[in-house]
Amino acid sequence: MDDKGRHTFVCGHPIAHSRSPLIHNYWLSRYAIPGTYRTIDIEPTKFTQFMSDLPVSDFVGGNVTIPHKEAAYALAARSDDMCHLIGAANTLWIKDNLLHATNTDAQGFTANLDQQAPGWDKATSALILGAGGASRAVIFALQSRGFSSIMVANRTLQKAVELTHRFGPRVTAHTLDAVVELSRDVGLIINTTPLGMSQTPSFSIDFSNAKSGTLVTDIVYVPLRTPMLASAAQAGLRCVDGLGMLLHQAAPGFHKWFGIYPEVTPELRNAIVEDLVKFQ
């Protein structure tokens, strides 16, 4: 450690859009910890070299984002069970000169709902849109909270079917055509696809058949109020945005690198919301 403290990063390609530096630099300042957290743009062809250089670099660890999450999992010397389950890593740290990896998305997902919609896990059935890496994290989170029926609807049915093999009989696979029908009977609906993200097409879902207590959450957080959340709110359903998941998935990494488990406060959330306003 030099006199500037510990050094950390988020790497991706592109990376300029990442809100992670705002989050980690807020915590470094709040807890008066000497250290840095910076963005590094790494092209896919250079990622393997970047990973192999990390144990002998000045960094104590960092975050990995699109498109390197799967490669980070494959290249880390030690990946934990959460990485194996999800098939991707978002958090790295160096211990005993070895690169370790985990995935904190499931923790971020549950912590967000615990904070924004306490009691959300009283529901027993859920509908997940999407069957990618984030969907796996959400399935794990729901299973760990005792959900007995988890329906996964995906554009490519086969990918949803693969998740039923991986996660067992409480998970069922469906096509996106079935979403309106499936939404009638569930207590929780989660979008884990990029649809609705700023400058991408959005989902058009008719929520008029959903039960009045159904909670709808979108892990896309740019914009904060996605088209899906807007139509759910219009149908009178409770909604939770995806920003809290981003904030909470960041906390375990900060803890590993700097030794303090940071708090996700309204002040931090407001700082990021102000930054996101330009995308609304």
Backbone φ and ψ of 250, nearest 5°: -80, -30
Q: Kindly indicate which of the ranges 26-34, 43-51, 127-135, 205-213 contains the residues binding ligand NAP, using the contact rule CB under 6 A.
A: 127-135
- The DSSP bridge pattern shows strands 91-95 and 59-64 to be antiparallel
Calculate the CA 148 to chain-centre distance.
Answer: 22
**Which residue has 């067992």 as its token pair?**
168
DSSP letter, residue 102: E
Q: Is 226 in the site for ligand NAP (CB under 6 A)?
A: no
Question: Interface mask (CB under 6 A) for ligand NAP, residues 190-209, using x and -?
Answer: --xxxx-x------------
Joined together, the tokens standing for residue 191 give: 């979008």
Cis omega (within 30 of 0) on the bond before 21? no
CA dist 173 and 189 (Å) reads 15
Residues 33-62 binding ligand NAP (CB under 6 A) are none
Q: Is 155 in the site for ligand NAP (CB under 6 A)?
A: yes
**Helix, strand, or coil here: 4?**
coil
Joined together, the tokens standing for residue 271 give: 């700082």
Residue nearest to ligand NAP (CB): 132
Q: Kindly indicate which of the ranges 19-27, 36-44, 96-104, 186-194 contains the residues binding ligand NAP, using the contact rule CB under 6 A.
A: 186-194
Q: Is 108 in the site for ligand NAP (CB under 6 A)?
A: yes
Q: Is 21 in the site for ligand NAP (CB under 6 A)?
A: no
Task: List, in sequence order, the alpha helices (H) in 76-221.
Answer: 81-86, 105-116, 133-144, 157-167, 179-182
* 159 given a catalytic annotation: no
Q: Is 91 in the site for ligand NAP (CB under 6 A)?
A: no
Q: Is 130 in the site for ligand NAP (CB under 6 A)?
A: yes
Question: Interface mask (CB under 6 A) for ligand NAP, residues 234-263, using x and -?
Answer: --------x--xx--x--------------
Least distance CB 94 / ligand NAP (angstroms): 23
**Contact at 8 Å (CB) between 201 and 224?**
no
Residues engaged in binding ligand NAP (CB under 6 A):
105, 108, 130-135, 154-156, 159, 192-195, 197, 219-221, 242, 245-246, 249
